[in-house]
A and B are shown apart, each in its own frame.
Chain A
Amino acid sequence: MTPPTSDVALGFLLNGSSVSVTCAPEDRLLDLLRGPLRLPGTKEGCGEGECGACTVLLNGLPVNSCLVPSYQADGATVETIEALADERHAALLEGGATQCGACTPGVAMTAEWIRRHPALGKRFPLSELMAGNLCRCTGYDGILKSLEAALTDDEGTA
């Protein structure tokens, strides 16, 4: 895809509904979500692909939305934290996966992706799978243990 040079009109499927927006060519998907689309649940922690606070699912895969030029979302499926039902968070809430919460939506989205692909969690250590989401508060144990618990629960109900 060649980067556009003037404002672009895009359409994509956002949390199950189709949206169309116009944005500047340099706008990142993160800007689009937090700005005109009014979904501030996705956070900006670094703006350079290091922290994962801005994680969303793009065509089902976790991406750092601060690194995705908006025009790449055209025609795609985008899921943000706002798409997840509250029940989905029970294990993370119980296991102490969140403290200050700034990393949390990103953590929850990566966790969601792993839960949708439980085979991943069997092939790779969860600590590796979650290594793209920086958390400064929890020391990660609360995140990893609750994700483990969620995966066990999912297995039981699958």
Chain B
Amino acid sequence: MPLAPLLRREGLAKLSGREQYVDDLDIPGALHGITVRSTSARGTIRNIRFDPEIDWSSFVIVDHRDVPGLNTVKLIETDQPALAATEVRHIHEPVVLLAHPSRRALRKAVRAITIEVDPLPSVLDFTVRPTPEQIQHGSDNIYKQITITKGDARSILADAPIIVEGVYRTGAQEHVYLEPQGMIAEEVDGVIIIRGSMQCPYYVHTAVCHALGREADQVRIIQTPTGGAFGGKEEFPSGVAIHAALLALKAGRPVRLVYDRTEDLAATTKRHPSWTRHRTAVASDGQLLAQEITFLLDGGAYMTLSPVVLSRGMIHAAGPYHCEHISIDGRAVLSNTVPFGAFRGFGAPQSLFAVERHMDRIALRLGLDPVTVRQRNLLADGQTTATGQVVADGVDRQGLLNRALSLSDYAAKRETHRQFNIDTPDRRRGIGLTTFFHGAGFTGSGEVYLDSKVAVAGLPDGTIEVRTASTEMGQGTTTIFTQLASDRLGLPPEAVAIAQPDTAVVPNSGPTVASRTAMIVGRLVQEACDDLRRQLSLDATDRGNDVAEAIRAWHRTHPNGLLLGQGHYRPPPGIEWDEGTYRGEAYGAYGWAAYVAEVEVDLRTYGTTVLDFVAVQDVGTVLNTTLARGQVQGGVAQGIGWTLMEECQWEDGAMTNNQLTNYIIPTSSDIPPIRVAFQETPYPHGAEGAKGLGELPMDGPAPAIANAIAAATGAEAAVLPLTPERLMADLDR
């Protein structure tokens, strides 16, 4: 039975302005904090000069010497200092922290501090091999290198009569979550309490314990309602939390460290820029014979999550197609740019843009319809992906494609565009298509290592509280978990509370990333409900009042007792992954999709308008239609921005257009109607048959739109974003 529909639970609080984000919290006596940053791309810190015009005694001043634990932001590696000590690796790298009661005084003080640096040779182009003087990581500046091999692509390519080649590039993208980064820290009875905007409370917890040299129970992290994240609040908040904590410890008072927009745009992580080359052997009927792919990511100045972003990008790089011979070689490399990090899609939008734009190039070269090339190669059940994973999920991938074609009126539009383009002197229309997939959950054995845990507490009044570290950042965790728990125990939604993620209260259900929350953690919520029922000696037919009454009765006999149902991750059977060879089940489940974009290009301005967008996907069972549709539409809009207008401009590795005035994201007048359809093939190991959803819609817009622009104008459309300037150069080549 489908879950009962439920409106977004915290929706009214958000609409009415009552929801309290971190900067809305009234913390008596709190100081404001600010970060003083490097103005050099790379070099040795010679001196930090404080202008004597300012009375520095009224400021709390923190530098690397104030870090009580290890001076690194712990993540995959510990290469990134919490505060630079002797050397800086990028402009905007944090060096000094200040706190003061007045924000205005702080802004003035930042300008009165000069960080003097003896420059060293920097790397500003990640596609160029570094010189010895530029080496800063290992012996070659390579953060991670991965090879995926299936069959023998090289020998097939050596004898292939038809080889199609192409090089594709994508630029950085800013998350532009509407609420900037922010944390408030204070020490209470020896415990450092940090509240703030984040996706992953336990990541922050680990990083703060590490940098502050504290035991786990001396640090408490509480997520405040989070005003958007999209990956931008996956790893970055750890550093902000450490900074706020350092200031609070030195000040002996609470400190609020909230970024303004210009600082947020300049200093935070962004989507990795990419460079991809495809060499593909094809038969004349469009069948893929061999794919050779090189995939490079710009990692920026510190490693952050680049190795895993690379990994996900590569696993998706060959597209949702069957090919016997695949060779993918990938590297994430250092540059002296603000570190790149997690962003919705996590490497897959980059590699899928390349392969999907390339598929249209193949069609063009062979004189085939792009639809035919995809129909011929789409994975069928029983066939294998690039890592050798057998696909056997029963999803009708050809059906998805057909549905997208009919909803978008693809064939008829191609005809009318042909005529339109003859009749209209200065405008061109085109329609473009993409088929793609997105693996849900952590890659390979990642979910096993996460070892996620969930608890459902039965409370004395007979209601329950779901305790997980999974955060609500707009994507709907609170509502989905309520629906799942309420359905499982037959309790009304009002009898289900979702605990605010607080590391002192909730178990570690893993990070809120990788489209894993509904599918994996949701499933654990169901299991914890079942466990609660078992502890109450109820059977599956006992629902609603029986459950509430049993909980109350338990508490009567166990005064002050803790009644907790638990859920604990176990991998579904048959998941085998070899990290050494990159062979096996890369993901427990994949979402599949076919997207179609229709565009009009104005040949006078080279501006592109998206006229229509159709997004058809199979993400398993849809748990909440309004939320799911909203995720798809939001992801598509973000994808449209990345494809057509969002461009970080760089100077010396620093973003120079760090204002919403000149870093342009789509407004309501830039977005076409986004028509969303779901095909629902239940995934047996996900909550109620659900698979991951959040990231998938970010993957499709770029190739669909670029293919449409190419169809309309004959452009190469191989470099994103396709701004008017770039499209003009492309068409004038």
Contacts and interface: CB of A to CB of B under 8 A. Distances in A.
Given A40-B20, A128-B669, A99 B634 contact: yes
A100 B178 contact: yes
A94 interface: yes
Interface in B1-54: 7-8, 10-21, 23-24, 26
A62 B21 CA distance: 23
Contacts of B21: 40, 43, 101-102
B627 interface: yes
A115 interface: no
Interface string B669-697: 10101100000000000000000000000
A134 B674 CA distance: 17
Interface string B163-193: 0000000000001111110000000000000
A43 B669 CA distance: 22
Nearest to A140: B668
B178 A43 contact: yes
Nearest to B635: A139
- State which size class the interface on A falls in: 35 or more
Given A93-B8, A97-B15, A101-B474, A142 B178 contact: no
Given A134-B178, A137-B630, A108 B637 contact: no
A139 B636 contact: yes
Contacts of A135: 178, 668
B16 A86 contact: yes
B178 A89 contact: no
Nearest to B230: A136
A102 B8 contact: no
Contact of A92 (B15, B227, B630, B635): B15
Contacts of A96: 8, 626-627, 629-630
Nearest to A49: B661
B659 interface: yes
B575 interface: no
Nearest to A81: B17
Given A134-B178, A136-B634, A137-B228, A47 B12 contact: no
B473 interface: yes
B668 A137 contact: no
A48 B660 contact: yes
A112 B10 CA distance: 20
Nearest to A98: B14
A53 interface: yes
A100 B669 contact: no
B667 A134 contact: yes
A95 B630 CA distance: 10
A103 B668 contact: no
Contacts of A29: none
A123 to B, nearest CB: 15
Contact of B659 (A48, A136, A137): A48
Interface string B621-653: 000001101101111111000000000000000
A81 B474 contact: no
Interface string B254-280: 000000111000000000000000000
B408 interface: no
A95 B226 CA distance: 21
Nearest to A82: B17
Interface string A102-114: 1111001000000
B15 A136 contact: no
Given A38-B26, A100-B473, A139 B637 contact: yes
Contacts of B626: 94-96, 142
Nearest to A108: B15
Given A48-B261, A100-B226, A100-B228, A142 B630 contact: yes
B668 to A, nearest CB: 4
A118 to B, nearest CB: 18
A81 B16 CA distance: 6
B225 interface: yes
A137 B261 contact: no
A27 to B, nearest CB: 10
15 contacts: A40-B21, A45-B179, A46-B660, A50-B661, A100-B177, A100-B227, A101-B13, A102-B228, A136-B175, A136-B638, A138-B637, A139-B633, A139-B638, A140-B633, A142-B633
Interface of B: 7-8, 10-21, 23-24, 26, 104, 175-180, 225-230, 260-262, 473-476, 626-627, 629-630, 632-638, 659-661, 665, 667-669, 671, 673-674
